[in-house]
Amino acid sequence: MSLPAAVLASVQVLVMVAVSPLLVGLMRQTRACLEGRVGAGLVQPWRDLRKWMSKETLSALGTGWTSAAGPVIVVVSGLLICVLVPLVGAVPFPSVPDDLFVVVAVLLLGTVATDLVGLDAGTAFGGMGSSRQMTIAALVEPTVLVAVYALSIPVGSSALSRIVRARVEDPSSVASPVSLLALVALAIAVIAETGRLPVDNPTTHLELTMVHEAMVLESSGRDLGWLELGSWLRLGALLGLLGSLLIPWGIATEVTVGSLAVGVAALVVKLTLLGGALAAAEVFVAKLRLFRVPELLAGSFALAFLAVTASYLLVQAG
Amino acid sequence: MSLRRLVRLMLTAGRIADAAPPLPEAAPGRPPLLAGSLHVRHVDAGSCNGCEIEVGAAFGPVYDAERYGARLVASPRHGDAVLVTGVVTRNMLEPLRRTVAAMPEPRMVLAVGDCACSCGVFRGAIGVAGAAGDVVDVDLEVPGCPPEPGAIVEALRRVTGR
Amino acid sequence: MNDSLFAQLVSLCAGLLLLSGVLIVWRRSLTAQVRFLALQGAALAVLVAVIGDYQTSAELIGVAALVLALKAVLLPAVLNRAVARGDAGQLETPVINTTAALIASSLLTMLAYVVSRPLQAAGSGPAAKAVPVGIALLLYGFLVLATRRHAVSQLVGFLMLDNGIATVAFLISGGVPLVVELGVSLDVLLVVLILQVLTGRIRTEFGAADLDDLSELRD
Amino acid sequence: MSGVAGGIYTQVSLTVLAVLASVLVPPAHRARVAGMTVAAVGVAGAVTGALALAGGHAGSIEIPMSLPFDPVVLAPDALGGFFMLVAGCVGAVAAVFAIGYVHGPSASRTAWSALAAFLLAVQLVPAAADAVSFLLMWELMALASTVLVLTEHAARVEVRSAALWYAAMTQLSFLMILAGFAVLAAAGHGTGFAAMGTVDPGSTAAAVAFVLLALGFATKSGIVPVHVWLPRAHPAAPSHVSAVMSAAMVKMGVYGVLLVVVRLLPGGPYWWGLLLIALGAVSAVYGILQASVASDLKRLLGYSTTENVGLMFLAAGTAVLLRAYGISVSAEVALVACLLLVVSHAAFKTTLFLGAGSVLHATGERDLDRLGGLGARMPTTAAAFGVGALGAAALPVTCGFVAEWALLQSLIHGARPQDRLVSVVMPVSVAVVALTAGLALMTFVKAYGIAFLARPRSAEAAVAADSPTSMRVSLVAAASAVVVLGLIPGVMVSAAARATELRGVGPVWVGGIDLSGVAARLDPVGLTVMAALVTLPVLLIVWRLARRRPRRPVDLAWGCGGVRVSPRMQYTATSFAEPLSRVFDDALRPARDVEVTHLSESRYLVERVQFSQRLDDVVEVRAYRPVIGLADRFGVFARRLQNGSILRYLGYSFVALLLVLVVVTL
């Protein structure tokens, strides 16, 4: 393992752990402001997390080690994504590629862990949440991979760092139809993967409309803390990835103190912009019926496919 | 509502929330862990729905209990406090006990409204098992029939200390 | 205008055309469909203007203005009136579900790409590369025509088909002569107006313009 | 005598020994003795395969025949050795599993003898160097497996119809392969593979032979639409047999396809690739879709085999297509991906079928809707099945992930804008693979989560206990193969590269893959180390928190305060798959029925609600039922001619004689 990559990875992990709860706080705050409320403040997720970690953890009869190990796996998968995805800088490890297929697989590992926690609870709601989440995850996968395929054609590699680096060197490529279509498709996929509106309502209290909440209904104390932190990390990392692809400026392409500082600052700015925009957009949309979600995902799939086609049609035209 | 009207409403309405009243003194024996973040599980043990409307208002935009760190949650496993409204009817006796038992320590029980505090007008009525205090250990009481949202928010602030 | 800027602008317009086509297939709300049709018309107009500027042909710029007026403003406005006279914001139930239609449209795009090689050979330069977009629009148009029930959607499909043909024509040969274009445009306008009047009449008589209901009129 | 030839002799003699052992040893010791001997057959196969893989054409056995053909030759090349190695490993593990598993009819003399013969046949199919020996082994494989499928025919009625389906389809496959080889032999003037290799791939004969062979091999592999035997035969057969059938026998179809496109007719035209891709893509999606809604555990695994074989066909087709277009680097990667899929599927499907067998052994249930809570009761089985499920869902760090990664790499690097066909087929294939992967994830989360987590849904599941040692040992062996091959895939990549004589791929560092041709590399060990580094601080925090406040057990899961929270309220496999079956309503066509019974007092009060759902295989209903109906009608007609009266038969003979006489004189 090379030293610069290791330094960058640790910086990314530390920054994301610190920032992703704040990102969630920011999104809730944005929503509160638009609804005319004051809001709980940026650091509220951190307060919640601190409390969960020190609270008692219950495990119901019939639940096994899955319920205990699942939340930790979710967090680890979130942290691994933060290592693999170019957020602060695009300097990959030589032996572990930041290949998007690997990233998706690690992401799915977290999804599976959450799902098994939901199933292990042995309640109707847990199973319901798992089933829905899995259905959505299964249908999102084609969109993600085809969008990546579209992004990888101009670069000739599915390694994220290479895609991002190409964008840093030639920012005009961001505005090409290929990249825009693929990014829109990817954005819908990210929304579905992270359980935001209109696919899932993160603030719902109605069991029958839940997806993510239903799976974690049975978790308490630090289990809940890990699960929530994991989902925040995942949200942060995926939004950060969209940010790196959409606004490639500021990404460190070499590891120096200065470039890392710029990279961290740029990451915070990008997350603020994207998180704020996402939260503001969420105020205006209602949750889709579960059986309308496949339509949305098919739409994003069609966009991803168009991006691939467009890359054949139009790339050499330029 | 069309998008344009919604945006205009947001711009004209601005901040709806009332200014925060002064911080009340902390509730005796409140667990320090719950300072700043209090997740509330609401149990309607047999209310006339008057208190529900007030609880809803307390978490609405005007009183905005969320700014003090309180939030309603969907499961007692996630909660730190059970908020009981209404007299405890016989059918809700066991579910109420179970809800409190299902909540991880440290936990609190808030009785909101006269019925939950002391059975109110339903004292001795048929099907009534008692007040919340007769069934579970109540830590904080909010009297009133129904209590004002401000009073509910104040009780929550006595726990969160914000 | 240099070659690379021209190519980029063409590809941008082509991208917009495709996107608006897919969005028309996607959305079930009639208002949204008409809005995206207007967007498509505008993209087509810009495309024509770009080609005109590149070939420094004043005639083409004129055609662009005509296309803009007709396809981005006039026809959508006519359709909007038709929609507004029905209940606003109505959703329709297509023959095949949206998911299948969207997947079909992705496959149609691919098909367009495969079959357009001979057409591309007919043209030259960077513009001809985008010919499959026109074919794809044509196929989307047919898809919409074949799978939608509402009369307004059918019109939208028909117009998209027309847009596709126009796109191919402009990309390959820099457009047809002004007179022909004028004639075709007027034809289309006439068709739409007649159909609009007809649907209006049908609605006042029977209360709906759903094709399934209309098929019962034969008896 | 070379090592390979010796290995083949050893396999044959061990098989004879195994048959003797199963016939002669008394029932009390039969399982142990016969099981170990059969396992030895498998080990011998694996060693022979490894030798053949290492040495290329390292040895041969010639059996002279008095027929007017070339001599029958068994001479495994590197590719054959690769498949022999895989089959041998699967067979050895399954045989050890069988020692503890067999009971009743599956412990009989016939079953053990058939198992030995079956294993030998599976191992020797890839050793064949001419069409005659290939077909002989192929037929032995078909017959032995049919006997094995029939094992439990006395106890369960459905076994008979399953065996009938299997026998019919497998003979159909044999006939098509026979015809295909016959065409090739006629064109190449010889039954040896060397003679057949001289046929020009562009000729009509080659095209006809390819179609016949591809369809024949597809039938054996369970490719849609000739897959109908697979979801029936797997639940019918004993689990260790299902494992060998699914993990080894079905692969022989893939071997056959590779034999044709790599060894006999390399450089076939592009449409061969398209045909294989189309067959593969349809099978992959249809198979996993059916698997995701199945609630019979072994039926689910059977359909998942269809999916995986579909992916292998897709990879092989991609290799042919890309090679025809001269994109040889990606073609090589696709070929290697195909072999990786073979190995990884063999590893995880063995694990899964043996795991299912273990569950069946402990509970007597295959229906997921009646399982649950087995994780606490059968920890070894649960862990092994979990690992297998991870592999089948293509998640890191298992061999399934590596294989799928390689396949995707070959697909995304295959497209070149100047070749329109390729650049259209590649993204469609990526979408197919992605959808398949997503649905596989759902399928195996369901299989594992419903069977092993939460609370038992039936009394049988509640009293389950873990299986005997031999079963656990083989389960652990198979599961560790899934993980080890996933951690250091370099081993299987080198083997695959050697089998196909490619140079564009190789191992990197401890055992990762380096696809230098497409500039992609993967090192699961590095990924694991990184994951461990990230996990360490988290675990430290968990440990400290757990010391401060240990977990408190409570008696019930949260059920909204409900008083009657029973295990029947849990989600079942059917309910888990319900959203998906709705999304894919048009493809699956489930028959749903809701029956509401009202109280007699008032129709506003409901006494009970009954929901039933039936999912038939659409292909079977639409394509096979009409054909079978036609055959039935023909049979009824034929019965009128054959009414058993001796006079009538004599009459027929007389008429026939007259006809012959007339024809001869004319």
Q: At D279, phi and psi to the nearest 5?
A: -55, -45
pLDDT, position D553: 86
Averaged pLDDT for residues A282-306: 87
pLDDT, position C6: 81
Tokens of D142: 């078909």
pLDDT, position D41: 94
The interface pTM score, or ipTM, of the predicted complex is: 0.88
pLDDT band at B141 (very low <50, low <70, confident <90, very high): very high
pLDDT, position C201: 67
Instruction: Compute the distance between CA of residue A259 and CA of residue D417 in angstroms, rounded to an integer.
Output: 37
Averaged pLDDT for residues C162-179: 75
Instruction: Compute the distance between CA of residue A282 and CA of residue A275 in angstroms, rounded to an integer.
Output: 10
pLDDT, position C90: 62
Question: Under an 8 A CB cutoff, do C117 and D424 touch?
Answer: no
pLDDT band at D342 (very low <50, low <70, confident <90, very high): very high
Share of chain A above pLDDT 70, in %: 98
Partners of residue C97 in chain D, C-beta under 8 Å: 586
CB D359 within 8 A of CB D381: yes
CB C163 within 8 A of CB C137: yes
**In this structure, what CATH number is given to the domain that contains residue B63?**
3.40.50.12280
Find, among C160, C163, C156, C161, the residue nearest to C195 by Cα: C156
Residue labelled with tokens 């402001």: A33
Question: Under an 8 A CB cutoff, do B98 and D554 touch?
Answer: no
pLDDT, position A115: 93
Q: How far is CA A29 from the centre of its chain?
A: 19
Averaged pLDDT for residues D387-408: 92
Q: What is the pLDDT of residues D621-660, one digit of tens each?
A: 888 888 888 988 888 888 777 776 777 787 888 888 889 8
Q: Which of B43, B77, B96 sits opposite D558 (nearest CB)?
A: B77
Shortest Cα–Cα distance, C142 to chain A (Å): 17
Q: Which of C98, C102, C109 sits opposite A309 (nearest CB)?
A: C109
Probe site for chain C from A149, A309, A311, A312 (most C CB atoms < 10 A): A309
Q: Which amino acid is at D461?
A: A
pLDDT band at C207 (very low <50, low <70, confident <90, very high): low
Residue A89 per-residue DSSP state? B
Tokens of C130: 């985008």
Tokens of C197: 């009047």
The residue of chain C with its CA nearest to that of A175 is C12
Q: At D598, phi and psi to the nearest 5?
A: -95, 155
Q: Tell me: pLDDT of C186 over 70.
A: no
Residue labelled with tokens 């001869």: D664
Q: Tell me: pLDDT of D610 over 60.
A: yes
Find, among C133, C192, C166, C209, the residue nearest to C63 by Cα: C166
Question: Under an 8 A CB cutoff, do B95 and D554 touch?
Answer: no
Question: Under an 8 A CB cutoff, do B98 and D561 touch?
Answer: yes
Q: What is the pLDDT of residues B51-97, one digit of tens each?
A: 999 999 999 999 999 999 999 998 899 999 999 999 999 999 999 99
- Of the listed ranges A57-71, C9-23, C205-219, D546-560, the least confidently predicted one is C205-219
Instruction: Compute the distance between CA of residue D201 and CA of residue D330 in angstroms, rounded to an integer.
Output: 21
CB D559 within 8 A of CB A123: yes
Residue B25 domain-assigned (yes or no): no
pLDDT, position D246: 92
Residue B10 domain-assigned (yes or no): no
Q: Which amino acid is at D384?
A: A
Shortest Cα–Cα distance, C216 to chain D (Å): 27
Residue B30 domain-assigned (yes or no): no
Question: Under an 8 A CB cutoff, do A44 and B78 touch?
Answer: no
Q: Does D628 touch chain C (CB under 8 A)?
A: no
Probe site for chain C from A297, A314, A315 (most C CB atoms < 10 A): A314
Probe site for chain D from C114, C120, C129, C131 (most D CB atoms < 10 A): C114
- Output the 3-class SS for B85-116: ECCEEHHHHHHHHHHHHCCCCCCEEEEECHHH
Averaged pLDDT for residues B143-160: 92
DSSP secondary structure letters along B113-144: SHHHHH-GGGTT-TTEEE-HHHHS---EEE-S
Domain that holds residue B105: 35-160
Shortest Cα–Cα distance, C151 to chain D (Å): 26
Tokens of B11: 């711009």
Shortest Cα–Cα distance, D558 to chain B (Å): 7
Q: Which of D420, D423, D586 sits opposite C117 (nearest CB)?
A: D420
pLDDT, position A30: 93
pLDDT, position A318: 36
Question: Under an 8 A CB cutoff, do A313 and C8 touch?
Answer: no
Higher pLDDT among residues D282 and C145, named by residue:
D282
pLDDT, position D36: 93
pLDDT band at A291 (very low <50, low <70, confident <90, very high): confident
Partners of residue A313 in chain C, C-beta under 8 Å: 11, 14, 113, 129-130, 132-133
pLDDT band at D58 (very low <50, low <70, confident <90, very high): low
* Beta carbons within 10 angstroms of residue A159's beta carbon: 23
DSSP secondary structure letters along D187-246: HHTSSBHHHHTTS-TTSHHHHHHHHHHHHHHHHHHT-TTS-TTHHHHHHHS-HHHHHHII
Averaged pLDDT for residues D203-231: 91
Instruction: Let me know how long chain A is.
Output: 318
Probe site for chain D from C102, C113, C116 (most D CB atoms < 10 A): C113
Q: Tell me: pLDDT of C211 over 70.
A: no
pLDDT, position D286: 93
Averaged pLDDT for residues C14-33: 86
pLDDT, position C218: 52
Shortest Cα–Cα distance, C57 to chain A (Å): 22
Q: At D385, phi and psi to the nearest 5?
A: -60, -40
pLDDT band at C200 (very low <50, low <70, confident <90, very high): low
Averaged pLDDT for residues B125-150: 91
Higher pLDDT among residues D604 and B136, named by residue:
B136
Share of chain D above pLDDT 90, in %: 44
Q: Does B100 touch chain D (CB under 8 A)?
A: no
Find, among D305, D225, D221, D289, the residue nearest to D258 by Cα: D221
pLDDT band at C170 (very low <50, low <70, confident <90, very high): confident
The chain-wide mean pLDDT, for chain A, equals: 88
Instruction: Compute the distance between CA of residue A270 and CA of residue A279 in angstroms, rounded to an integer.
Output: 14
The chain-wide mean pLDDT, for chain D, equals: 88
Sequence-ordered list of residues with C-beta below 8 angstroms from that of D476, at least 6 positions apart, any chain: D380, D384
Probe site for chain A from D453, D509, D514, D540 (most A CB atoms < 10 A): D453
CB C168 within 8 A of CB C195: no
Count of domains for chain B: 1
Q: How far is CA D622 from the centre of its chain?
A: 24
Q: What is the pLDDT of residues D23-50, one digit of tens each?
A: 898 888 888 999 999 999 999 999 999 9
Q: Which of D552, D556, D561 sits opposite B95 (nearest CB)?
A: D561
b/e per residue D566-591 (b: at least 16 CB within 10 A) = ebebbbbbbbbbbbbbebbeeebebe
Q: Which amino acid is at D130?
A: D
Q: At C100, phi and psi to the nearest 5?
A: -65, -40
The residue of chain A with its CA nearest to that of B68 is A40
Residue B6 domain-assigned (yes or no): no
Question: Under an 8 A CB cutoff, do C110 and D421 touch?
Answer: no
Q: What is the pLDDT of residues C58-91, one digit of tens each?
A: 878 888 888 888 888 888 888 887 777 765 556 6
CB C209 within 8 A of CB C199: yes
Shortest Cα–Cα distance, D549 to chain B (Å): 10
Q: Does D420 touch chain C (CB under 8 A)?
A: yes
Subunits with at least 3 CB pairs below 8 A relative to chain B? Answer: A, D
Q: Tell me: pLDDT of A122 over 70.
A: yes
**CA D111, D112, D114 angle in degrees (round to 5)?**
65
Tell me the sheet residues that pair with B112.
B85, B142
Q: What is the pLDDT of residues D130-146, one digit of tens each?
A: 888 899 999 999 999 99
